[in-house]
């Protein structure tokens, strides 16, 4: 008997999950468009990286190396870890989806701070796992509350360090204490998408922490500091039990040929790339200083962005920026995240922010 339903059956959870909202691009009345809404690098790939991509484009009729062996080898050398401790994915977001597929089962839970990276709840719910959101404390992770939220159903804890969108960090002493108290059955993911921008010496490099902890893994990306957001390339460093599971959840050939070539070339040109990172860090400090001088309360940030806690004024502030062609990332009722870009683009943002009424 043919069903009378007019549409195929789909998962009910999809009705309650909004699509991921990427940073918008707007155009002001004078034609100016400054996108500070996506935490992108203001710098394009270096000439050597563009050349590697162009050369790789000649082989687009061939499937990429499914294991990306050359890139894995280069990453392992760069990080000082065994090759089987490295796994790849289509950006850190793609890697997180792989991780959730590896740990998620009905009735299990994932613990993370909130607000944090806005893709977390979307990906967790899509994996059929329950989110346990632990409110931020003074714009940062409340690790004691996160420990209290862990139970027998917890499969994974996410620590976004630096935290997106606030830019705040978890320092080494408190993070080590936290990791030592997390049950062995819980996988802790240190999401370090902005690691290259960290200058606080008390913020640990996750690679140094995972080595003697089988339940800890580190998530990073080429999208931010390396300026490769368009090619979608991320990686995970963890023990073989974790990286092996993540490889099984990777869509075949997901790490495309251009991404592999760009990743290797970027690692080879790392010294030049990190000079650009230093320029962004210097601009970050300049922008935050100008905001503080103008009366804003801006938490210390170790990312390539600043956070303004605006509350109910958030959308008004975003609209004021949009009027002059500046796009920021508003979170209604909470605040706005603003990416650090070129000096000229940052000045355009500051021209709005420093005269916006009721700064606090």
Whether the pLDDT of residue 1 is over 70: the answer is: no
Q: What is the pLDDT of residue 324?
A: 95
Cβ atoms of 101 and 250 closer than 8 Å: no
Whether the pLDDT of residue 199 is over 80: the answer is: yes
Q: Hey, how many other C-beta atoms are within 10 angstroms of the C-beta on 303?
A: 29
- The pairing of strands 109-114 and 154-160 is parallel
Cβ atoms of 84 and 240 closer than 8 Å: yes
**C-alpha–C-alpha distance, residues 225 and 40, integer Å:** 8
Q: What is the DSSP letter of 42?
A: S
Interval 97-143: pLDDT, tens: 999 999 999 899 999 999 999 999 999 999 999 999 999 999 999 99
Higher pLDDT, residue 5 or 201 = 201
Whether the pLDDT of residue 283 is over 70: the answer is: yes
The contacts found for 248-254 with CB under 8 angstroms, 24 or more apart, are 248/102, 249/97, 249/98, 249/99, 249/101, 249/102, 250/87, 250/88, 250/89, 250/98, 251/90, 252/66, 253/63, 253/64, 253/66, 254/89, 254/90, 254/94
Instruction: Give the list of residues 6+ apart from residue 23 with CB closer than 8 angstroms, or none.
Output: 35, 37, 38, 39, 40, 327, 329, 339
Whether the pLDDT of residue 151 is over 80: the answer is: yes
Q: Report helix angle 270-293 to 343-353, nearest 10.
A: 20
Q: Report helix angle 119-126 to 91-103, nearest 10.
A: 40
Whether the pLDDT of residue 249 is over 80: the answer is: yes
The CA-atom distances, in angstroms, between 260 and each of 76, 103, 245, 329 are: 14, 27, 21, 30
**C-alpha–C-alpha distance, residues 72 and 91, integer Å:** 15
What are 256's two structure tokens? 């495309």
Burial of 23 (0-12, 13-18, 19+ CB in 10 A): middle
Instruction: Give the list of residues 6+ apart from residue 349 with CB closer than 8 angstroms, or none.
Output: 34, 36, 287, 321, 326, 328, 338
**C-alpha–C-alpha distance, residues 166 and 139, integer Å:** 6
Mean pLDDT value of segment 25-42? 88
Q: What is the pLDDT of residue 126?
A: 92
Average pLDDT over the chain, rounded to whole?
94
Q: What is the pLDDT of residue 5?
A: 58
Q: What is the pLDDT of residue 161?
A: 98
Whether the pLDDT of residue 188 is over 70: the answer is: yes
Cβ atoms of 109 and 153 closer than 8 Å: yes
pLDDT band, residue 2 (cuts 50/70/90): low
Residues in a beta bridge with 307: 337
DSSP states of 298-332 as a string? -----SSEEEEE-GGGHHHHHHHHHTTTEE-EEET
Classified as helix, coil or strand, 100 is: helix
Residue with tokens 């043919």: 2
The CA-atom distances, in angstroms, between 67 and each of 71, 243, 342 are: 9, 12, 37
Q: What is the pLDDT of residue 6?
A: 72
Whether the pLDDT of residue 167 is over 70: the answer is: yes
The DSSP H or E segment spanning 72 is helix 69-79
pLDDT band, residue 27 (cuts 50/70/90): confident
Classified as helix, coil or strand, 341 is: coil
Cβ atoms of 284 and 349 closer than 8 Å: no
Whether the pLDDT of residue 12 is over 80: the answer is: no
Q: Residue 282 half-sphere exposure, CB side, CA atoms within 13 Å?
A: 8
Residue with tokens 């913020």: 203
Interval 67-98: pLDDT, tens: 999 999 999 999 999 999 999 999 999 999 99
């Amino acid at each position: 008997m043919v069903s009378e339903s007019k549409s195929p059956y789909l998962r009910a959870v999809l009705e309650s999950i909004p699509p991921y909202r990427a940073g918008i691009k707007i155009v002001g009345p004078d034609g100016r468009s400054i996108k500070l809404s996506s935490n992108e690098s203001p710098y394009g790939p270096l000439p050597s990286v563009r050349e590697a991509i162009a050369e790789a484009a000649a082989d687009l009729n061939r499937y990429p190396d499914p294991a990306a062996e050359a890139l894995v080898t280069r990453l392992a050398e760069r990080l000082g870890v065994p090759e089987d401790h490295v796994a790849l994915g289509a950006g850190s977001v793609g890697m997180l989806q792989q991780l959730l597929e590896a740990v998620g089962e009905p009735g299990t839970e994932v613990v993370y701070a909130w607000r944090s990276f806005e893709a977390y709840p979307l990906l967790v719910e899509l994996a059929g796992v329950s989110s346990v959101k632990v409110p931020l404390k003074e714009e940062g992770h409340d690790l004691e509350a996160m420990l209290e939220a862990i139970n027998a159903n917890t499969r994974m804890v996410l620590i976004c360090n630096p935290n997106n969108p606030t830019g705040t960090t978890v320092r080494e002493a408190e993070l080590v204490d936290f990791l030592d108290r997390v049950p062995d059955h819980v996988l802790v993911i240190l999401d370090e998408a902005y690691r290259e921008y960290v200058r606080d010496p008390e913020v640990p490099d996750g690679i140094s922490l995972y080595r003697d902890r089988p339940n800890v893994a580190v998530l990073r990306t080429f999208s931010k500091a390396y300026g490769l957001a368009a090619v979608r390339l991320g990686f995970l460093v963890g023990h073989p039990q974790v990286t092996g599971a993540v490889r099984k959840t990777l869509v075949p050939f997901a790490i495309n040929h251009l991404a592999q070539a760009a990743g290797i070339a970027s690692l080879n040109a790392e010294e030049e790339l990190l000079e650009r990172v230093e320029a962004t860090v210097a601009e970050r400090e300049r922008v935050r200083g100008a905001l503080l001088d103008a009366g804003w309360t801006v938490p210390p940030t170790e990312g390539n962005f600043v956070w303004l806690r605006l509350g109910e004024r958030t959308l008004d502030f975003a609209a004021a920026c949009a009027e002059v062609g500046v796009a920021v990332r508003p979170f209604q009722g909470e605040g706005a995240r603003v990416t650090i870009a070129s000096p000229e683009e940052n000045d355009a943002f500051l021209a709005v922010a420093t005269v916006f009424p009721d700064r606090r």
